[in-house]
Every structure is written in C-alpha cells, then in structure tokens.
Amino acid sequence: MSEPLLLVINAGSSSLKFATFNAKTLMRLFAGGAEMRSSGIRFTIENEHDVCVRSEIIESTDWRRQTVEKLFAWLEDEKLTSLIKAIGHRVVHGGGILCKPCRIDGPVLDTLEQAVPLAPLHLPENLKAIRTAIRIMPELTQVACFDTAFHACQSRVTRTYALPAELYKPGYERYGFHGLSYEYITSRLNDLFSPHTAEGRVIVAHLGNGASLCGMREGQSVATTLGYSTLDGLIMGTRPGNLDPALVLQLVRDHNGDIDHVERLLYQRAGLLGVSGISHDMRVLLESNAEGAKLAVELFVNRAQRELGSIAVAIGGIDGLVFTGGMGAHSTTIRERIASGLEWLGISLDPDRNFAGNVRIESSQSKVAIAAIETDEEIVIARHTRSIIDGV
C-alpha cells in the first residue's frame, strides 16, 4: 500500500469508531473501534474484507483515549502512519459559531472548549480524541465536521425558543444533532426511493444510544427532535428526551441546588438505563422479562411514535421513512413496534421483508415508502476532509 490515506475518528456517546480511506478514491480500507457493552469494552480492527485483524478488551475508564492510542500504535506497526494525509473528526456541536467543516487550530479548539456545556456528554470525548491525535501526529491537518451543521438551514421560527426578548443571546436556540448521519442518508435517498419520494417529504429515524428524528423536504432539514442540547426529543440510552422544564427545576431543588449532580443524572443515568434499572442497550432490554425493561421499551416506542407524528406535521405529511442508527438499521422488533402505531399516517411494514433484513420494507398497502439502512458518518467525514485539504 503506497497511496495517501485519510483517517476518520468518530467519538460518540457510547462508542468510538475509526476508518481509513484512500484519499483519492475514498475507498474504505479498514475500520474498527471500541464500544461500551454489558460484556465490557472491546477494541477491534477489520480489513477491507470485513475480516477481523485485531480484537482485545480495553480495561480502562479512559477507554476512548486508549482506543486512539491503540489505533495509532497499530498504524505504526503496519507502516501506515507515513501515508496518512489528514485526520477528520466528528464533532457533535459547533457552538453556534462553527457551522461547516474546518481545519482544527487553536481558536477552533477554544471555541469547542467553550461549547462543552452545550454537549457535556459528547464534546469532552470529541476533544479528547482530537487532542490525542494532535499529540501523536502534530504535523497533520486535522478537520472538524459538525453534527449541528446539517440543521443550520432551518428557519428562524423552527430554531427559536419562546424566551423573553431581553434574555435572548446568541446560542439560545435549537441546533439539532446527528447531522452527519442525516447528511449520509440524504446522499442515498435517490438510491432508496423514486425521485418523487427522494425530493419529497422524508422522515429519517436515527435510532441508537443517541436518537432523533429529522424531517426533510428536498433533502434539506426542516425539523428535528433534538434542540439546544442532546437531551431533547426521543428517549435515549442514558438520556430522558423531552422533559417538562418544571420537572428539571424540581430535580434541582430536590438535590439542594446541585446542578452538576442533576446534569450527570440527566445525561448519564436516565433514559433506557434509568427506567429499566438494567441497561442502556436496547438489545439487552428486548431479551429481558423484567418489568422495568418492558416499560423502558414501551416508553421508547411511544415517544418515537408521538415525535414522528409531530415531524410529519412540520413537513406537511410523509412520502418516505428511513430507519437508521444501531437500532433503526438492525432491530426488526423496534421497527415493527414503532410502525404498528402509525397506520393513520399511511405507514405499513411488510413483516417478512422487515425480518428478512431487506432494504425496502413497506407492505404493498403502505402509502409511505420505507427503508432500513446503516448510516455511514465516517464516509461523510472523509468527503469533507478531502475537500478541506484539496481546497474545494
């Protein structure tokens, strides 16, 4: 191997993924990462043929930093380090200032540090991966790609909160997240659906440890369930989704004004984990007979159905629905349970197609085209990184 490479690092709330791409063709050459699971944190690397070339358990509370270090050690062992031309990073929040992919420098890092309160579960991990990569390979161009950027085109009405005008300051608005995933799905709409549907009213359900919905028209974000922070909207692995603000205020009072404690509770101990008392992992909950697990699943499905109906109103109906994310792409049960309450919207799954893992899974009676595919945030980051270093 002698052609230049792009390295992509995607640090999420419960996983860290990475991949290398041929810098010219954007062909994926290897991929891997580490993920928090009930059995522990496993670090893996697969080659371009999906064959595992490395697998081990990481036993560290600082496992994201250790994952990046293990990745670079492997690159060095394979004599690939010198081929890397640039590194692209997923960054969950641009702080309301950074709205498009950019080179990472001192001012960019300062802006991201200041934005940590907007995404305290994600941004510290994004920054940790970035700083580790800079420490190991300081001479390389590093590029930040923002999850909030995809939604920057939304209208002022959609982005504005009903706060007193005298309290308003830049940043007090709805941002939306999972934008890199939505950008990838948008690039695939013409492959999935007819041109009329692809350019029409499409709802994408990104369902994973972090979860949201996005309603699009002509491939542009119109409405999404996440807002100012990553706490809003759907129930998630460890986050509650939409809460009455009065309840948050009461939680602060109940904990003697300890805002940091309540913040940790809402970001790390709520959601599926909090309700079930068992796990943040939907796979574990679906296999459990415990009442808490059943309730957590029912709440997740109910909220997804309600929010999907709301997004459909915001975009004026629905022509296409795409399930993606870890749950959306792989959990036939979750797809079936969400769809089963949405017949009034014209949504009808074909049970055989759904459980067979087909891409198109609507029934012949469905008025809505329905697809289920894996997202690929890494290829989106690679595209942006190439554009930055090529000056496009």
* Catalytic site positions: 147
- The per-residue DSSP string of 324-341 comes to EHHHHHH-HHHHHHHHTT
- Residue entry with tokens 């580490």: 34
Q: HSE-up of 305 (CA within 13 Å, CB side)?
A: 19
- The per-residue DSSP string of 239-307 comes to ---S--HHHHHHHHHHTTT-HHHHHHIIIIISHHHHHHSS-S-HHHHHT---HHHHHHHHHHHHHHHHH
CA separation for the pair 38, 26 (Å, rounded)? 34
358: tokens are: 């087909």
CA 256 from chain centre, in angstroms, equals: 33
As a whole number of Å, the end-to-end CA separation of the chain is 26
Sign, CA torsion 59/62/65/69: negative
- The per-residue DSSP string of 16-48 comes to EEEEEEETTT--EEEEEEEEEETTEEEEEEEET
